[in-house]
A and B are shown apart, each in its own frame.
Chain A
């Protein structure tokens, strides 16, 4: 099975711009979660999508949004970029059905490195 793919791998933007990142989950996985990783704050949960609906949300401002398509692919969007948004954005996929309980494993993509100038 192909793993989780993320595009683009690298992005450079300037303050005030917006950006869209894409994530394709493992085939058969319906849950996509997004995380932001920075040296200062570490790994933080942004949100999770399942069956085209946002099911969980972390503590991030409304500038961060996402969506999921019927094929489970997900996009996240950051509007009005700030310098502090420079980070590695990781997406993770899992089955999402809940049948595995706490055991459900998230599999991560290679990440998108965003630099805001």
Chain B
């Protein structure tokens, strides 16, 4: 079974509008971390935002926020006020358990969503 599922291969959004990128995950661990990364065409993976399984509040970082629904095992990324520079591939990733006692320092990635921001 896929551990991280991103069901939207491609999304279009108008500039200045908000967009939600979906991510569902599968784990039996109680302690896990969820990360979103942005990958422009240049290839570098840019860290955007983090959500921990025990965090009670949804994470926010500037125009990025995470809609975390633990019972549904979903961690959707919301980008507000989209900009042309937001056009990129977006990956959801998970670390299961702490580095030293859990799954190690390994991230499992979804297949990504290609976001295109239009004028």
Contact = CB atoms under 8 A, between A and B. Distances in A.
A98 B106 CA distance: 12
Given A43-B91, A43-B109, A107-B47, A102 B100 contact: no
B97 A96 contact: no
Chain A interface main SS type: strand
Contacts of B108: 45
Given A90-B45, A98-B98, A103 B107 contact: no
Give the top 10 A-B pairs by smallest Cβ distance, nearest first. Answer: A102-B33, A108-B45, A56-B104, A98-B100, A43-B109, A111-B43, A110-B44, A98-B99, A101-B98, A45-B106
A103 B33 contact: yes
Interface of A: 31, 33, 35, 42-43, 45, 48, 50, 55-56, 58, 88, 90, 92, 94, 96, 98, 101-111, 113
B107 A45 contact: yes
A56 B106 contact: yes
Q: Chain B interface: which size bin?
A: 20 to 34
Contact of A33 (B47, B106, B110): B106
A96 B47 contact: no
A61 B58 CA distance: 40
A33 B43 contact: no
A102 B106 contact: no
A102 B43 contact: no
A61 to B, nearest CB: 18
Contacts of A109: 44
